A and B are shown apart, each in its own frame.
Chain A
């Protein structure tokens, strides 16, 4: 399966700032996804990162708050903008190599906002 590198692994940020999280895959993949996991909770899909076009956002998530880029089939970024303490979560990148394979996840980015 694909090897996924996610950076940074953790960060502590000030309120009102923005942070960009990177997700790099060692092979070309069809689909890339971004999830949020709030403390003690399950995973919630933020958006599907589409190569060459705007990401597809889930209900409750907007591009202004979570801009996503996917310039090619092996790389994507998620920016968490204008952060507040409520954004403190683990953010995870996942990839799907083809429609009949499971999704595989990066190690996640643990984000704390002061």
Chain B
């Protein structure tokens, strides 16, 4: 079963605005990863945040992790049309060498 739950399921914003997506999970994790998928193609890895980290940045991306609330957020600043995609969180659970994916957020950036 999928551990991660993401919200919103779909998000539509104007180009230049910021987009925030949230992910919740249920069990203890080693790390949490965010991926992007364009039009049903392969997944592109965005950021990995470890359980002992609280925040991580990569370019216009900012990821936070709150292990006490078992939640993470992905912020994309100054969005562009090319950011239109589905975004998935995936958790690497303690004691299990595999990822469990959330249901994903479908992000649409309107020009």
Does B98 lie within 8 Å of A45, measured CB to CB? yes
Instruction: Report if A103 contacts B (CB, 8 A).
Output: yes
Given the complex of chains A and B, what is the CA–CA distance between A31 and B97 in angstroms?
Answer: 9
Interface SS of chain A: strand
How far is B102's CA from A29's CA once the two chains are assembled, in angstroms? 25
Question: A110 within 8 Å of B by Cβ?
Answer: yes
Number of interface residues of B (CB under 8 A): 20
Decide if A42 touches B99 in the complex (CB within 8 Å).
Answer: no
Q: 1/0 per position for A74-109, CB-CB distance to B under 8 A? A: 000000000000000010101000010111111110
Proximity bits, A4-42, B CB within 8 Å = 1, else 0: 101000000000000000000000000101000100011
Question: Within 8 Å of chain B (Cβ to Cβ): is A114?
Answer: no
Number of interface residues of A (CB under 8 A): 25
Set of chain A residues within 8 Å of B29, measured between Cβ atoms: none
Interface residues of B in 78-111 (CB under 8 A from A): 88, 90, 97-104
Minimum CB–CB distance for B38 against chain A, Å: 10
Structural contact, B42 and A106, CB atoms closer than 8 A = yes
Q: Which residues of A contact B97 (CB under 8 A)?
A: 31, 48, 99
B98 and A33: CB pair below 8 A? yes
Closest chain-A Cβ to B33's Cβ sits at a distance in Å of 5
- B40-A107 in contact (CB<8A): no
Give which listed residue, A37, A43, A103, contacts B45 with CB less than 8 A. A103
CA distance A101 to B90 in the complex (A): 13
Across the interface, B40 reaches (CB within 8 A) one of A33, A104, A105, A108, namely A108
Interface on A for B, CB 8 Å cutoff? Answer: 1, 4, 6, 31, 33, 37, 41-45, 48, 90, 92, 94, 99, 101-108, 110
- Selected A-B contacts with CB under 8 Å, 6 pairs: A37-B40, A42-B102, A48-B97, A90-B40, A103-B33, A107-B42
